[in-house]
Structure formats: structure tokens, C-alpha cells
Amino acid sequence: MRALRLQNVNWQKSANRDVHHTEKFSSQELILRRGQPFEIAIAWNRNIAPEEHLDFVVSTGPSSSESAKTKATFPISTGSAGGGWKAQLKNKEGNLLTVIISSPVSAPIGWYTMNIQVTSSSSEGMYTASLGVFVLLFNPWMQGDDVFMSNEAERREFVEEDSGAIFVGSTNRINMVGWNFGQYEEDILKISLAVLDKSLNFRRDAATDVARRNDPKYITRVLSAMINGNDDYGVLLGNWSGNYAGGRDPRNWNGSVEILKTWETSGFRPVQFGQCWVFAGVLNTVMRCLGIPARVVTNFNSAHDTDKNLTVDVYYDPMGNPLQKGSDSVWNFHVWNEAWFMRNDLGPIFNGWQVLDATPQERSQGVYQCGPASVNAIREGDVDLNFDMPFIFAEVNADRITWIYNASNGSQKQNGVDTRSIGQFISTKAVGSYSRMDVTEKYKYPEGSGEERQVQQRAMKKLKPSASIRPTSAESEEGEGSSPSISGRFKVNGVLEVGQEVSLVLLLKNQSQDRKTVAVHMTAWTIVYNGTLVHEVWKDSAIISLESEEEVQHPVKISYGQYEKYLKADNMIRTTAICKLADEDEVVVERDLVLDNPTLILEVLDQAQVQKPLNVQMIFSNPLNEPVKDCVLMVEGSGLLRGNLKIDVPALRPKEQSKVRFEILPTRSGTKQLLADFSCNKFPAIKAMLSIDVAE
């Protein structure tokens, strides 16, 4: 009898990928989800004799082993019992076998090789043939998987959606920018798996690392370390200096695809530069790509508490200048991720959304990584649970303490405690629409409620068992019996637009029956969104008299000429007033302003159809009384064009309008997002987003 030899393998890629919800990936491999059966057809050079026995062998990673569950050998069987790898004969026609193979729902994810072994009871030796390779991903459609998500609309949004929106700005000016996640684009799956293989854990002990890739807790923690380039061959280098020479201004990125591809083609050198929403956008891409439901979340007035005391200290000098003193800070906004999975290590009440943060802020176990931390645990103040709970709890709950520091004699004086301003408007994109969904109540009880202070006390006791709990601002004011006799706030007059004068008033109100004389020192600084000071652009001092219960408006005007050279792509200006009365504590008034960019318009000129060239027009009007030059338009959108488009736009005279036409080629039907970034010497990053309905 002729030796039995393999002739052909049909992986039935199209049918299997449809059933496994991986049909959108542009790479041609067989991409499967764990726990879900798949079919293959195997042709031999002759019929299999009764004495010949077939075994499948699957393995993943180097030095795979059955004990680590990174390798399995299994026969074709009739039963379906047991939780391991299984093969069942579906059909046998002559020398063609159709086999249904099932992976365990807890299998490690990643690249697998599959071989088949033939042994015979009538002869010595074994024949082994390679069947090929496939990729195994997490399976949010499968009830037994740790990442299972039962709601179909949520699954579509948090796993399958390849574009989204990220909220930025400040509490009084929340803006939305589009982001192209692009997890189905060419090579992104391969690069996402390479992120795991470049990690410190893999390089130290590859066999153990691969064996632990069955666990979304483990994988997401590794990814939170790998998306930043601080300790390893990570993807992105952070830069908050305001100077981005040698790289790209973080505001200019439109999505993750270009970043991940640049990282790979450069030989895995960190891409320059990222800030928090860029780290979060890239981490979201990789998690969705691997099958972990994920979303991007923004926390406004986010505390960076470096010493785990649940307070952040903010300093000013007596002239109203903000000071960069101490290591604590308050970011206008901070962006992180949530991933959805079970917490078998903590218990069922901690299942669901978990915070992960790839922005390098603090080391955790020696590495810049953060999370996963259960959102439910944050809400209840369980700061002793894994991972990095104290830091994340403080980001949304810390008390903000204002100090006035006098450099001439080195003295500093506590000016006020604010228990309410940190952790506001915690935001994410709504399911199925581009509206903002507020998730603050998932992170904490209502400010000032009894539960909120109980949680704060529980957290403080766990962090510092001997510490006394500071009273709330309402309680402490009553206790001291000396609230300030004046109050103040900045009010915006007119519009806040780049290129226009910034017009405000400082409103001061005398809350007492006595006449008051106030010495006011005011400053304005351009800043980066995380509070980094760029440059002072304006200052003023005044003596203001207030009659009993009188309110006075003091005008503040900052010209474009004063701030133009120092405004960063954040478009942020921090205004401060220190108001001094005789024999009383100073009153500190502050406001961060976000200036609007001019509008960038995108419009489609034809009906969009798959594989049919589509004309798009960009319209931009220069609002300034001076020319703008070095204009570049960057365009991208998954399913609308391959890679991205870079168009040099001619310089614009004062008040001139520019129209630029370009062509894209849609490759997938459905609603797709086109994202644009326009930059020039006067406007570093103007964003636009357009939804395009693509017909089959």
C-alpha cells in the first residue's frame, strides 16, 4: 500500500471568518475566535486505512508545552465532552475528510501552527504534515469567554467599530475630535500581536508570557506598558513640552494606523510624539483588534497625585503667576481606556469595565503601566485591590489645595481646599452615535453626598490607616467661621477664537456690609492641556474699591499680538487674579480658556459607492489679517482610502478662502468616517470629520 500523504488543505477561510466575526480584517490569514468551532477539509493521496490513526497538534509561541496549555495533541473523536481542543469528523468522501475543530474558550490568543500526525498499528514510525497557521482571538460573542459581552449594540460599538470620537478641552468647553482606530487595516493585526512579542515579559520569559495570553487582565496590563515607549520597545514617546521638533505635534494625528505602521517599519522604535488621547486611541485599536471590548474615556479636571495622599497641591505667587512647584498637577482633561472583562481575581461584583491607562505618568511594579482597575471598585473606594487603584481613584476624587508661595522669603500659605472640582464630566462616545455619554456616576457618588464622603474615608483609611479625614469644604467653612468677604470670577465677553482679541471681565462682589479696597494682580499664560506653562502673555494690576455688597466688573483684554507666538495647538490660556484685602486671606480667581479654531469644511461631491472613486472637497477660510503659509492637509479614514493622504495646500492671503479637491476610493460599505487635519504656520491643528454612507 502507498504511504499516506497529505495532498491539500482547504481552510474554508471565507465561511469560517464569517462565522467568527473576523470577515472585516484585510489580512488574508485564517482569523478565528476562541471557543468557537471551525471547519477544515483535508485531502489525502488515498483512502485512510482502518489501522491508521490521525492526531492534530496545535501550538503557539516558542517552547510550547501541553502543561502550559500552549500545545495540544488530540485525535478525531465522536464525542464533544471536555473543555480542551477537539476534532470531530463531519464528513468522509473517499480520501477527503471534513473535520470540525473546537478550541477551548480559555485558550491563549495569538499565532498558532497546526500539524497532523499519522501513525499506523501495522508499521513503525510517524508521518507529520504541516496544515498551516491561523490566528486565535478573544471571543466577546461566546458566553464562556472572560470578555463576553451580551448586548449586541455594545459589541458592535466596542469591538467592531473602527472609528470613534475622543472628548478634549476643559469643563467649560468640551470639544470632540474624531479618531480612526482602523483595527481591520492591512498589517494592524500582525502589528498588534507584535506589540505583545516586544514586551519585557516576553523577552524575559517567552514561554510563561505566551501561556498567560489566555487572560485579558494580563494582556491589557502588558499593552498599557507597551503603547508607551518608556521602558521597552513601546509604540509612542510622550511629549508635553510644547516643543515637538524632531517628531509630530500630537494634535496632528488622525488615528492609530499610521502610528502603528511607523513603529513597525522603523524597527520598533517609539514614534514621536504622543499625548494622552493618542496613547488611548492606539491602545483602543490594539484591544479591539485582539477581540477585547474597549472604549476611550475622558476625565475633565484630572488629578495627577504623585504621593498617594488623595490631594493635589497647586501653587501661585503673590503676583498671580501659576507656579510649576511640586510634582502634583491638575490636567484640564486626561484620556484613558476602559476594557470589558471578568475579574476572576477579585470577584463578580468587580466584573465589567476596567480602567487602563497607557500614558506614562507613574511607575507601577517598576514599569510605566496602569490598570486594569475595576470601575466598580473605584466607585466604592476599594483602593487596596489590583491594579493601581490609589492613583486612578485620586484622578477622579482628589481634593485640590491652593497655596500661595513667596519666593523672596520661601514662605507658603495654604489658601483654600476644593473638594468638588476634580473628576468632572467623565465622558465617552455614546453607543451607535457621536453624542457624548456622561459616565461620571459610574466612577463616583454625587459630589457632596453622604456616600461620596464615606467612600473618601474608606479609601483614606486603606491608604493611610492613621490619617485623619479632612472635612468637606462646606463643613470646614462653617467650622472656621471666616469665609472671605469678597468673591470673584472671570466672565467671557464675546467669542473665544484664535486670531481675535480675548475679552473677559473680572467680576468682584463685596459680600459684606463694609467698604472694601482690593489690590488685584492678574496674569495670563499660554499652557499645554496638562498644565505645563508655556509663556506669560499678559499681566495687569489694579486697586478696586467696593461699596457694601457692590459688584464691580474689571475689563481684561488680551490681543492676538500678545498671545499669537506662544499659543500651542491646545489653544489654551490660563487667567489668574490674586485679590488681596487688608487682614484677610487672598482670594484666588482663575479660569482656563479654550480658543476655537476657524472651521474646516469637508463635503462629498458624488454618491459614495464601493470601489468607485469619490471626489471630496475641503474648504478653509483664513480669518486673519495676515497670510498663512506651510499649509498641509492630512486625510484618513478606514474603509475610505488606503493609508493616508498628504496634500500641500498653497499659501493663503489675508481673509482668502481655499478649496482643495481630492479623490478617495471606498473599499467597504456602510457609514464610514473621513478625518482631516489642516495645519499651517498660524494654526497648528484644525480638525474636521465627515460621515460618508457608502453603498455596495
Q: Which residues sit in the known binding site for Ca(2+)?
A: 397, 399, 447, 452
Cα–Cα distances (Å) from 48 to 53, 117, 326, in that order, read 9, 13, 76
| Cell numbers placing 452 | 461620596
- Catalytic site residue from 145, 232, 276, 313: 276
* β partners of residue 134: 112
- Specify whether 304 is catalytic: no
Known binding-site positions: 397, 399, 447, 452
- Catalytic site residue from 145, 232, 313, 357: 357
Enumerate the H helices of 365-466 as residue ranges.
375-380, 389-397, 440-443, 450-463
Of 510, 421, 509, the closest CA to residue 472 belongs to 421
Cα–Cα distances (Å) from 307 to 225, 385, 411, 488, 522, in that order, read 21, 18, 22, 31, 31
Q: What's the CA gap between 530 and 230, in Å, rounded? A: 19
| Cell numbers placing 42 | 483535508
In this structure, what are the phi and psi dihedrals at residue 102, rounded to the nearest 5 degrees?
A: -125, 135
Q: What's the CA gap between 428 and 280, in Å, rounded? A: 12
- Specify whether 677 is catalytic: no
Q: What's the CA gap between 541 and 634, in Å, rounded? A: 44
| Cell numbers placing 272 | 514621536
- Specify whether 334 is catalytic: yes
| Cell numbers placing 204 | 524575559
- For residues 554 and 542, the answer to whether their CB atoms sit within 8 Å is yes
Q: What's the CA gap between 682 and 245, in Å, rounded? A: 16
Q: What's the CA gap between 571 and 685, in Å, rounded? A: 10
Write out the E strands in 188-328.
236-238, 271-274, 294-304, 311-316, 322-323
- Cα angle 663-642-683, degrees, rounded to a multiple of 5: 65
* β partners of residue 404: 316, 413
* Secondary structure (DSSP) of 19-85: HTT-TT--S-S-EEETT--EEEEEEESSPPPTTEEEEEEEE-STT--TTTTSEEEEEEES---SSS-
| Cell numbers placing 220 | 491589557
- Catalytic site residue from 20, 304, 334, 521: 334
Q: Which residues are catalytic?
A: 276, 334, 357
